[in-house]
Chains A and B, each alone.
Chain A
Amino acid sequence: MLSIKGLKKSYNNHEVLKGVDLTVAPGEIVGLIGVNGAGKSTLTSIVAGLRSADEGCVTICGVDALKDPHASHTHLGLVAQEIGLYPILTGWQNLDFFGRLVALRSQSRKRRIEEVADSLGLTDFLHNPVETLSGGQRRRLHTAVAMLHRPSVLLLDEPTVGADIQSRQKLLDEVRRFAAEGSAVVYATHYFPEVETLGASVAILHEGRIVARGDSYSIINLHAAPSVELAFEGEIPTNLSEFAKIGDQGNDEGQILSRVVIPVRHPGRDLAGIITNLGIEASRLRSVEFHQPSLETAFLRITGRKNTDLEEEEINAVLQ
């Protein structure tokens, strides 16, 4: 439904996209994640026809979106990062106008306005001028405009920025429902819990390329390890000194505790190995905490440390 191949884009000799490849199937939600400046907005705006590409190909429902953007726009819904609404018109007038632009006929337009307003909780203030609505209400209305014509491809660029918890939840529910009806959704964000809540597959955009692609579970398994946090009375044992010390802290008994985080593959088994290797030093161990890996830790590993072999070596060193 959406296919991006070899997409490149530079601004003033600075290469923002260095050959992005991404395919999104009908009914799939892809969480496009990346740090600020990774190129998420550039990518979504090229797909939406708002920016030109230097190289590459974007196909939306079989239409070449770079050669014929207007034809592709009938299949596309864009929720840009900045709210785009007419403040002096009512919510209904905004929806009616954008519904007309996508050629929704009178009855179906009216029905769709009622449907999206209902599903996004907009019905009660649909006839109020937009300038009188709260930030969260505007954010939902902004999203409703893009969903009005049931586009085959929906692009959302950080759609929950500034939204309250209620608005955020409604938006996420609606995006999930939208995909369940068969639309391909690209959800650009740097809020990792949202990607997990949506049950989205993940595409990590880093330094102009998609560096990881797959479902959250496999990306976490592949790129992030669980870890154990050990607290010792006094100094950290010398055979653990190569791991990251996360600071000293006093306990209730006035003792100074030193903490260290150790990545592990199999928490129970590896912890037993670590404690055995500590020998007599294990008597200074005061607490143990397990940390489960998350998308965030996987992302940090992928974008912060490119070589996970180092961690493999660290784990093996402790176990031996």
Chain B
Amino acid sequence: MRSFNNSVGRIIAFWLNESRRMKADPGQFFVLVMLPVLMITALTPMALAVLRMKGYSNANGAEQSVPGMAVLFSFTSTTILGGSFFREHHWNTWERLRASPALPFEIILGKCGPVFVLSMCQLSIVWCVGILAFHLHISGSLFTIAILTGFLSWATLGIGMALVALCRTIDQIGIIGNIGSMVLGGLSGAFVPIDLHSSSGMVARFSPLFWALKAYQSVIFEGKGILDNGFACLLLFGFGTVGFLVGAARFRMADAKIGRT
């Protein structure tokens, strides 16, 4: 029992430490929120034209740009998680963690938790700005959007954990995270609807961003609920779980990582 309590205490310690680090560097969160909002502003007129062309006469463009940018920027949590692990090597605190009683699963849980919350906050703000500033009309419920956002954050976090275990340098994870989000987001229809570039349709099905965007738009346009999107939720959960399993299998406390660009 005491061992369990100590374990919980250490996970809380990591949560607190990560939160303090995020609080000490608020610019990071500001960029995470501001970039998608700026992109929404830039892409909404184009999205409006595309949606009108597709026959959505009442659309205002936000129906494409807001969920598109939400899924695109959800992928940034992979680089944030990567930074959280890799900077420990740069600051030499990783050796301290290894010489402490903390177990690997406590470190992973303690680091993933705050990044999950950060990702949820980031996406929630993007959705709120979309509704309030860009007059996004959602036919379905916000609750469904929130649940889908949870599954999307789980998926990107799992992929992030796999990258943490597989990459050797912070540069590798940064490049994969940033370019990966653009490529996967583009293929998945984050910028323009996927049926306008149908050749990438099959490839997009291997991306969690595609399933998230498909589910979001079914809620926005068709008012579908969480049960209607059960398959998408299952796939998103699967992406995340496979990512975590790969991460757990390949994660080595003793691996030398380079946490400096």
Contacts and interface: CB of A to CB of B under 8 A. Distances in A.
B10 A101 contact: yes
A89 B13 contact: no
Contact of A100 (B10, B98, B99, B103): B10
Contacts of B10: 100-101, 103
Interface in A88-120: 88-89, 93, 97-98, 100-103
A31 to B, nearest CB: 21
B92 A145 contact: no
B49 to A, nearest CB: 45
A50 B99 contact: yes
Contact of B101 (A70, A78, A86, A145): A70
A139 B100 CA distance: 19
A73 interface: yes
Nearest to B97: A101
B6 interface: yes
A300 to B, nearest CB: 32
A78 B99 contact: yes
Contact of B6 (A76, A88, A103): A103
A95 B68 CA distance: 43
A98 B96 contact: yes
A82 B99 CA distance: 14
Contact of B12 (A93, A98, A100): A100
Main secondary structure of the interface of A (DSSP, over half): loop
B20 A93 contact: yes
B25 interface: yes
Contacts of B92: 80, 82-85
B215 to A, nearest CB: 37
A231 interface: no
Contacts of A48: 98-99
A51 B254 CA distance: 8
B99 A88 contact: no
Given A48-B99, A49-B98, A87 B12 contact: no
A50 B12 contact: no
A93 B95 CA distance: 18
Contacts of B95: 50, 78, 80, 82, 84
A111 B198 CA distance: 65
Interface string B75-94: 00000000000000001111
B17 interface: yes
B99 A102 contact: no
A155 to B, nearest CB: 9
Contacts of B25: 88
A297 interface: no
Considering residues B20, B25, B96, B97, which has the most beta carbons from chain A within 10 angstroms of its beta carbon? B96
A73 B99 contact: yes
A74 interface: yes
A82 B21 CA distance: 21
B96 A78 contact: yes
Contacts of A76: 99
B87 to A, nearest CB: 9
Interface in A44-88: 48-51, 70, 73-74, 76, 78, 80, 82-88
A267 interface: no
A199 interface: no
Contacts of B9: 100, 103
Nearest to B93: A84
A129 interface: yes
B16 interface: yes
B102 interface: yes
Given A49-B98, A51-B254, A93-B17, 15 more contacts: A49-B99, A74-B101, A78-B96, A80-B92, A80-B95, A80-B96, A82-B95, A84-B91, A85-B93, A86-B91, A88-B25, A97-B17, A97-B20, A103-B6, A103-B101
Interface of B: 6, 9-10, 12-13, 16-17, 20-21, 24-25, 91-103, 254
